[in-house]
Structure 1
Amino acid sequence: MKILVGLSGGVDSAITAHLLKEQGHEVVGAMMSIWDDSIPTPQNKGIDACLGPEDEDIETVHKIANFLKIPVHILDCRQEYKKVVIENFRNEYKEGRTPNPCVWCNAYIKFGVLPSTARKNGITFDKFATGHYANIIFNNSLNMYQLCKSKDAIKDQTYFLYRLNQKILSETIFPLGKFTKEEVREIAKKIHLPVAQKPDSQDFYCGDYNDILQFPKISGNIVNKTGEVLGRHTGIWNYTIGKRKGLGLSGGTKEPLYVINILAKQNVVVVGTKEDLYSSSLIARKVMWGSIPVPKEPIKANVKIRQQHKPAKAIIVPIGIDATKVEFEEPQMSITAGQSAVFYKDNVVLGGAIIA
């Protein structure tokens, strides 16, 4: 089988290509180029990030391809990435929400635009593979492919992949789903892979997010729950739910204050106590049921409201065809508009939605 592997210059995607080649497949590498020179070059080069200048990554990808003895292609995905990921990122912050760009990048760029661009460039392949820590199974009783958690619970990346549809799941392979990160590193050392010790990417962008947002400073009030003005801000996009440090408030409060709400239309940031951060429910829109038929009745599931969040027991209540209400068994802290609520049943990712 001929398999296209998305290479990033890191150890995970490189070992993915290695494992598939060891299994006897014909492997072709592809790196998506997404860096737009209109974004200022980040000064903090000590942190490896997904979005940033690509010269070193391209050089590394070529080294990996030469080491593995596979062909590699650098594919221009910049315009699509800018339109889908960057514009959504900017629009969400402008509306007082905190987006997760990795969700949109995976669903529409990495698993959509990249393989599509490869085919447009005459690259033929049977399956597409990446170095994500996740698994895909076929459920015979449902006649559906299902996205499942990886062996490595810490590295599991299904939270970012919940928007993959049936077509994408049917055409995708995740070779690392049955490995831990430690096992992957050991394989890399054993074969003397050039990037065996390369650190993982730590963030979406290692510079100041204002480099991407490029919004003019718009000052407004910081208020408490009763509307009392406690201070001023220079842009609501500099705040997210749960933020405590750097609020710019003078003393006078007996306990720490946190951002508990962002009112975009009023250009107001609302602060309160830690207790105010807890909520028993949320409304989410742009629902994607990737691994099961669309439920018509409430269902029980475990729900993650951010990547590092411990899944919490909840009841998911459908609202029309594009929204859902999530009612938690116990109140959850810092539910943030713009982030994703992802629904799990045992190891299966049922689906997810964007918190509204």
Structure 2
Amino acid sequence: MKRVVVGLSGGVDSSVAAYLLQQQGYEVIGLFMKNWHDDSVTISNDCPWLEDSNDALLVAEKLGIPFQTVDLSEQYKEKIVDYMFNEYEKGRTPNPDVLCNREIKFDVFMKIALSLGADYVATGHYCRKSEINVDGKPVYQLLAGVDNNKDQSYFLCQLSQEQLAKALFPIGELTKPQVREIAAEMELVTAEKKDSQGLCFIGKVRLPEFLQQKLQPKPGIIVQIDKDNSVYNIAIPKGLSDEETLSLAASPIQYTADMGKTVGRHQGAHYFTIGQRKGLNVGGTAEGLFVIATDVDSNIIYTGMGSHHPGLFRKALFVEKSEVHWIREDLALANGETMKIMARIRYRQPLQEATLHQFASGMYVSFEEPQSAITEGQFVAWYQDDELLGSGVIS
């Protein structure tokens, strides 16, 4: 019997994952990760990890599998929380869920599981894995989950071949309603439990308050840029190389305060992200204001009115060379090569037609249609059909 350690989170997905593996004849061990102690920044009054670990224990008891809790809060703080603070301070918007999978679940946690003699680590992610042969060697594919509405492959876009080799995703072939049905049939305590929200393992947090623990408030102005501003009509010079043309398309516009009018004040540009609409507290505009840029050096937030404001859209983005990550290393592009792909720049975004362009400095992703709120620090992931091939941090 192969031994599998399941990351039991106290939710329905990982509960059913453990049950299915048991049915398939694996020796299953349940492990709950405790990653957070500080309840002062979570929105709910209850202590989410306590309730979750209790539910995970009840599921393990029901299935008759060994169960223990591991405290990873130190590593979590260092690898995820401190990283988040650093990124926000630089005016970037990190994705803690993607990092949590790469750095915690499939690294720190996986090492603990392997030290317990596990052959595999399993999670309740809605995605699939398959194996093909390339030049006589096994190559692992990360495929989208069958449930289009729940596909979570994007969150695993930073995994490596080594991590995928040891990973199992038992519910990837199922839809969410099917998973709940199985849990109900098995009378698992998590069958009706709502999906967890907010930060991976921390739960719902008030982001500004969470960030204020480390990043001090710093009052500044909110500037509104008119959609007809001449900055949006700059013609692209002729005779540029492909790389220069892409660089122009990917570069954010550099705004200055005199380009628009001051419409309000804020408590710190580092608390805001591009595309954000809530929390600006500016009234009296015909349509809602959206953040189109933040300047943490001069502490100014630039906004545009309405979701179609030209300041929200760009046709390309850039990923620095060191941040380009291929799950399918055998398909990695050489300098000067291009590849037609489908891409998304955030979870749940429908896949967009795009082309990868690899240069010595890094990779450009150019889209067929302009994309709204391309945000520095977030991940772009690229696919062919339902296979996720690679990803990178938007720079």
Give the TM-score, by structure 1 length: 0.92
Q: Is the 8 A contact 1:16 1:176 kept in 2?
A: yes
Instruction: Structure 1: give runs of 5+ residues left out of the alignment.
Output: 47-51
Which residue does 1:76 correspond to in 2? 71
- Superposition pairs of residues 261-272 of structure 1, within 5 angstroms: 261-272=293-304
Does 2:240 match 1:242?
A: no
Q: Which residue of 2 aligns with 1:138?
A: 131
SS for the counterpart of 1:260 is: strand
For residue 195 of structure 2, the aligned residue among 186, 200, 204 is: 200
Aligned to 1:351: 390
Query: 1:319-334, aligned counterparts within 5 Å?
Result: 319-320=359-360, 323-334=362-373
Alignment counterpart, residue 381 of structure 2, candidates 305, 323, 342: 342
Shifted more, 201-210 versus 131-140: the winner is 201-210
Cα RMSD between the aligned structures? 1.8
Match of 2:122 in 1: 129
- Cα deviations by residue, 1:148-177 (Å, 9 ceiling, x for unpaired): 111111111001001010001111111111
Alignment-derived partner of residue 295 in structure 1:
333
SS of the residue aligned with 1:283?
Answer: strand
SS of the residue 2:134 aligns to? coil
Aligned residue number for residue 115 of structure 1: 110
What are the superposed Cα offsets for residues 30-69 of structure 1, whole Å, 9 maximum, x if unpaired?
A: 11110133x51524248xxxxx642211211111110000
Counterpart-to-counterpart distance in 2, 1:355 and 1:340? 6
Aligned to 1:257: 289
Deviates more, 1:166-175 or 1:138-147: 138-147
Q: Are 2:90 and 1:95 equivalent residues in the alignment?
A: yes
Give the 3 Å change call, closer, same or farther, for CA 246–78 of structure 1 in structure 2: closer
Taking the aligned partners of 1:194 and 1:53, their CA distance within structure 2 comes to 16
- Choose from 148, 156, 159 the match for 2:151: 156
Separation in structure 2 between the aligned mates of residue 238 and residue 260 of structure 1, nearest angstrom: 14
* 1:188 corresponds to 2:183: yes
Contact kept, 8 Å, 2:113 with 2:121, in 1: the verdict is: no
Matches within 5 A, 1:218-237: 218-225=218-225, 226-237=259-270
Q: 3-state SS of the aligned residue for 1:310? A: coil
Residue type of the alignment partner of 1:347: D
Which residue of the partner structure matches residue 278 of structure 1?
313
Please give the alpha-carbon distance, in whole angstroms, between the structure 2 residues aligned to 1:255 and 1:177: 41
Secondary structure class of the residue paired with 2:293: strand
Per the normalisation by structure 2, the TM-score is 0.83
Note if 1:24 corresponds to 2:25: yes
Alignment partner of 2:217: what SS? coil
Q: C-alpha separation between the residues in 2 aligned to 1:268 and 1:209? A: 19
2:15 partner SS: helix
**Alpha-carbon distance, 1:137 to partner:** 1.1
User: Alpha-carbon deviation of 1:103?
Assistant: 0.4
SS at match of 1:178: coil
Kindly, what percent of the aligned residue pairs are identical?
Answer: 38
8 A contact 1:146–1:292 mirrored in 2: no
How far 1:245 moved relative to its partner? Answer: 3.7
SS in 1 for 2:309: helix
1:268, CA displacement in angstroms? Answer: 1.4
1:49 paired residue number: none
* Contact 1:3 1:128 (8 Å CA) reproduced: yes
